[in-house]
A and B are shown apart, each in its own frame.
Chain A
């Protein structure tokens, strides 16, 4: 068995979710794990990938055509480099989700999305119906195309000795799509998907300004801030903070849900958190059915009090 893991990065840093995909590769039990780093000026990413535990080889395709890693040419590139692999893995981030099905279709294989555990080299568990059911899926495809839910696999550690880095000058041009620009949200707080503590606000926050209450508390706890769909739709915060079935999946040590009712779609994104706290004035809110500690209170009183007493 030989596994190819596709690295996600911004040409400077390896995305942490890739370390979890490498952990899944390890559990599948490959004899050989190689990592593909395709980008533009991505040498430092290749160095980081080479230091990851369990990696035997890093293949670097460094060319301007891969700058924004659009799926149209990256998928073709992966297809050409996947020859002989038994599995191709990528983390189930928005980038991985966009890319992998394109690869799978080009290879004419079915894909297993967002696995949460590995039973053996061809059998995996994955959540369906917004996490209300867990399916055990067996793939008999010659090459298994898989995306990995990062929160379900502890990232691999880094090691001293480096794996071999090999350059590949294969160039696959992209004629169908073009990158125009991006608007990334900048924040000093930890990344939502990897933070140890997440504080999320919902419709109960009433306005974007009131999210300051959560930011203050988050800064004191070193936490990331998330949101429910209702809070995003109401324009309180940007969409990349959404936690849930269609947003980000988080599994922190502590998840504090403030003014969030706890709809099925939200629970899908956070119910694997170690400890869940709910602060809500509606004692019938479904969030209390999954909360380890529930406080029925007005958030506008409870949150500042929480903040001041820490």
Chain B
């Protein structure tokens, strides 16, 4: 079984995003970039499927600038067999990204496609669902458990009230939640080996996708800051403040 995994290069999750003074966006100059945490979980799951003998090949794909090769190499150091970069310097919205991924899916015909549930920069939570719709595949979002057997994927999903289990006919799309697994670290020998793995570069034109968007970011601003609070000395003062000053209890 062939598994396709998508990865996105994003600001490192520990870095606090700073808005540019001209309100054109978030300042990414000299900011640490990493693989989106949910994508790491997707890569890890694919590697585990290979270790269990279920997956035979793992192809990792990213849509983004040339620098995204770094994240593809990381995924290959973690166990992906080869990589594909659909190179574009534009800040693409989720729909054209899903269309580009559909182009890759058509070329590769994977049985299972794993994506993170959302990227921590745009926080859209759209791409997997859009790709599922475009490819005409069933979907299971927010997965915390995946079992593959007899051409089907049994997926436990994190939903608002608890957990839900669905069964999908393969090929299918699954997006990962945090609880799915704990990603491993890449070892130095594996990082060295990953440098020799195949990395194909494609362009949106080759895939015949129009990357235009009907969305325009008018401005990006910092959120309203909260007024500095006070320290209370003890529980009595806290209760007094909540009752008489804030009047919330």
Contact = CB atoms under 8 A, between A and B. Distances in A.
Q: Do A and B make up one complex?
A: yes
B17 A293 contact: no
Interface in A193-214: 193, 197
B144 A239 contact: yes
A275 B139 contact: no
A102 B214 contact: no
Contacts of B163: 182-184, 239
Contact of B123 (A128, A178, A309): A128
A253 B248 contact: yes
- Interface-centre pick from A133, A180, A253 (highest chain B CB count, 10 A): A133
Interface in A232-274: 232-233, 238-240, 245-246, 248, 253-254, 264-265, 271, 274
B198 interface: no
B129 A71 contact: yes
Contacts of B177: 239, 246
Interface stretch (A21-29, A34-42, A89-97, A163-171): A89-97
Contacts of A294: 229-232
B235 A295 contact: yes
A129 interface: yes
A46 B222 CA distance: 40
A292 B246 contact: yes
Contact of A102 (B19, B122, B130, B142): B130
Nearest to A291: B229
Given A139-B214, A275-B246, A240 B130 contact: no
A12 interface: no
Nearest to B102: A105
A227 B170 CA distance: 35
Chain B: number of interface residues, binned into ranges? 35 or more
A136 B139 contact: no
B133 A133 contact: no
A212 to B, nearest CB: 18
Contacts of B157: 94
A127 B21 CA distance: 17
A138 B95 contact: no
Given A98-B142, A265-B13, A133 B132 contact: no
Given A98-B142, A110-B93, A177-B167, A137 B223 contact: no
B118 to A, nearest CB: 7
A275 to B, nearest CB: 5
B216 A137 contact: yes
B150 interface: no
B189 to A, nearest CB: 29
A84 B192 CA distance: 56
A interface bracket (residues with beta carbon within 8 Å of B) = 35 or more
Contact of A295 (B133, B142, B228, B232): B232
B203 to A, nearest CB: 21
B162 A113 contact: no
B241 interface: yes
A99 B227 CA distance: 37
Interface in B1-33: 11, 13-14, 16-19, 26
Contacts of B132: 102
Contact of B219 (A71, A105, A136, A183): A136
Contacts of A113: 123-126
A289 B227 CA distance: 9
9 contacts: A71-B129, A100-B129, A101-B129, A111-B126, A133-B223, A185-B161, A265-B13, A275-B242, A293-B230
Given A102-B133, A246-B38, 15 more contacts: A97-B129, A101-B125, A105-B134, A110-B214, A111-B130, A177-B138, A182-B161, A221-B249, A245-B123, A246-B177, A264-B14, A275-B248, A292-B230, A295-B234, A309-B236
Interface of B: 11, 13-14, 16-19, 26, 38, 93-95, 98, 117-118, 120-134, 137-142, 144, 154, 157-169, 172, 177-179, 213-223, 226-232, 234-236, 238-239, 241-242, 246, 248-249
Give 5 nearest A-B pairs by CB, closest first.
A176-B138, A101-B129, A129-B17, A105-B133, A105-B130
Interface of A: 70-72, 75, 93-95, 97-106, 108-114, 123, 127-141, 175-185, 193, 197, 221, 229, 232-233, 238-240, 245-246, 248, 253-254, 264-265, 271, 274-277, 288-297, 302, 305-306, 309-310
